[in-house]
Amino acid sequence: MYRFVHVLCLVLMAAFLGGCSAGESNVAQGNRDGILHFGNGSEPQGLDPHVVTGVPESKIIDALFEGLTRKNPWTLEPEPGAAASWEFSDDRRVITFHMQPEGRWSNGDPVTAHDFVWSWRRALDPAMGNLYAYMLYPVENAEAYATGKIDDPALVGVRALDDMTLEVTLNAPTPYFLQLMDHYSSYAVHRETVERFGKATDRFTRWTRVGNIVTNGPFQLQNWELNRRIVVERNPHYWDNDAVYLNGIVFYPTENIVSEERMFRVHQLHYTADVPLNKIPAYRKMADTPFVEAPYLGTYFYLLNTERPPLDDVRVRKALSLAVDREALTRNVLYGSNNPAYAITPPGTLGYQPPQLFTHDPEEARRLLAEAGYPGGDGWPGLELIYNTSESHRKIAVALQQMWKDALNITVTLSNQEWKVYLDSVSQMNFQVARRGWIGDYVDPNNFLDLYITDGGNNNTGFSDPVYDELILQRAPRAATQEARFALFHEAETRLMEQMPILPIYTYASKHLVHPSVKGLPPNLMDFVNVKYIHLEDVPLTEFELE
């Protein structure tokens, strides 16, 4: 018996030792071969620019495809992409794009204006079911076509004057329109390829698979293993191929951020999609830390259902908001990784500064609550706060729950809901207070402020103010200058925060671990990665010591 035991122990030990990773780490290998190992958060739904939504998808699609323009990762200013140059008409309603003379698809075909015309029509076609169709709404008749009011795609304001010239007509001057040109919903797809595998508007075809897909970006798809990795390699036909440093990128669906951080720590990743909150302090302490954080174009806030008591009373809404010590929250619960927010729009979007009408003021909060008829919390009917299941949402909710109790002596019950249930409750406005976050699709206050127009699809608060609607929908678009426009936005946002249908909490921050060997991957407001600028330096790998 015992002999038996011994033998087995030996076998197991052997298995362990044999298993020990003697091999060279991903990062070392990558630095040598110019391959970037990229933590991408999760498995992409797919790679069809007109079908998918979501950040992980965008990272891969941005590597494979290229829109008319492509942002500079430092300035976020549009730089030539599929279009070499463009000019605006005097009324700034018509934009003419001149295509890259050397623009090529990965199979060698030229990239023409017709490709974009066809692709945009595809993107807008209702049958396509493209959730991001609205990104093209500034284009003339785009909305009408996407919502089936007209069914002649020719009426949509995008034409190819010739192979190399694309003319886009807008409903109204849209300052941020160029930014939309590197959002994947405005990308071009390769017509023959798409049609070889099915109808243009078919969601189920295999055209995006390895071997089938044809793209016009700096990289082309090499390998796609579900839930394991997606590998893209240099696209030799890319017009600006010489400017591209990387030979390839490996995207990992790192769902579990704890293990993602650990993979980074043992040099299995160059870049992580996120960083566990509680790891931040340790990384901050590190000399030349790999931890990179930057304000992110998004706001974390609570929706207040203005149609349900007690929140139908603006004083109660204000009281709740004033009672929240955002400084303490961000400092202690979020480890100072985010900035307090006092309005819906993140500060510094292209120079726009949102109003700050209030600060943490328990006194005032108590006064307002008393005014509203709940002095010292007497007669408080109770309030329920819903949030979708997640560690960080829970932490914030727990903290605020206590702040409200301390400051206002009112009880707020928490209820976390499974994702889809939560979405259902929110869209049905079946809640009193609901956690919410909004990430900008493009850098412009409008992207946040038009959420709260009356009956806006993402309003979800019952907030309705004709003046506000007019400011956002009528006057701002027609503003002569950016300053005038921002002034109108400021006025609108002030009205919004006076009504307080939402309770802003903090401004998002992008948080990544970036290996010292990675250059040209700067943090920016859009958390935008421009793969063209990334290069790797073969620095010696050092241990990341967390104490």
312 sits near other proteins (criterion: CB under 8 A): no
284 sits near other proteins (criterion: CB under 8 A): no
DSSP string for residues in 54-91: SHHHHHHHHHH---SEEE-TTT--EEESSEEEEEE-TT
Cα–Cα distances (Å) from 20 to 9, 13, 262, in that order, read 17, 11, 17
159 sits near other proteins (criterion: CB under 8 A): no
- Which of 109, 195, 240, 255 is close enough to bind other proteins by CB under 8 A? 255
Site string for other proteins, 2-21 (x = CB under 8 A): xxxx--x------xxxxxxx
391 sits near other proteins (criterion: CB under 8 A): yes
458 sits near other proteins (criterion: CB under 8 A): yes
Cα–Cα distances (Å) from 163 to 104, 110, 142, in that order, read 13, 9, 22
Nearer to other proteins, 486 or 506 (CB): 506
Stretch that binds other proteins, among 66-74, 102-110, 171-179, 400-408 (CB under 8 A): 400-408
53 sits near other proteins (criterion: CB under 8 A): yes
243-255 burial, b at 16+ Cβ within 10 Å, e below that, comes to ebbbebbbbbbbe
Nearer to other proteins, 20 or 480 (CB): 20
262 sits near other proteins (criterion: CB under 8 A): yes
DSSP string for residues in 86-116: EEE-TTS-EEEEEE-TT-B-TTS-B--HHHH
In the range 407-426, which residues lie near other proteins by CB under 8 A?
413-424
In the range 426-445, which residues lie near other proteins by CB under 8 A?
427, 437
259 sits near other proteins (criterion: CB under 8 A): yes
The residue count for binding other proteins (CB under 8 A) is 94
- Which of 64, 304, 399, 472 is close enough to bind other proteins by CB under 8 A? 399
| Structure-block tokens of residue 461 | 């608060």
In the range 491-530, which residues lie near other proteins by CB under 8 A?
none
130 sits near other proteins (criterion: CB under 8 A): yes
Stretch that binds other proteins, among 98-106, 164-172, 179-187, 247-255 (CB under 8 A): 247-255
C-beta of 18: minimal distance to other proteins in Å? 7
- Which of 10, 77, 148, 382 is close enough to bind other proteins by CB under 8 A? 148
Distance, in Å, from the CA atom of 123 to the CA atom of 117, rounded to the nearest integer, reads 10
C-beta of 228: minimal distance to other proteins in Å? 4
For the chain, the first-to-last Cα distance in angstroms comes to 45
For 245, how many CA atoms within 13 A lie in the half-sphere containing its CB?
18
Distance, in Å, from the CA atom of 11 to the CA atom of 1, rounded to the nearest integer, reads 16
Stretch that binds other proteins, among 48-56, 289-297, 346-354, 496-504 (CB under 8 A): 48-56
Helix (H) or strand (E) holding 249: strand 248-252
- Which of 134, 176, 245, 358 is close enough to bind other proteins by CB under 8 A? 134
Burial class from Cβ neighbours inside 10 Å (0-12, 13-18, 19+) for residue 468 reads buried
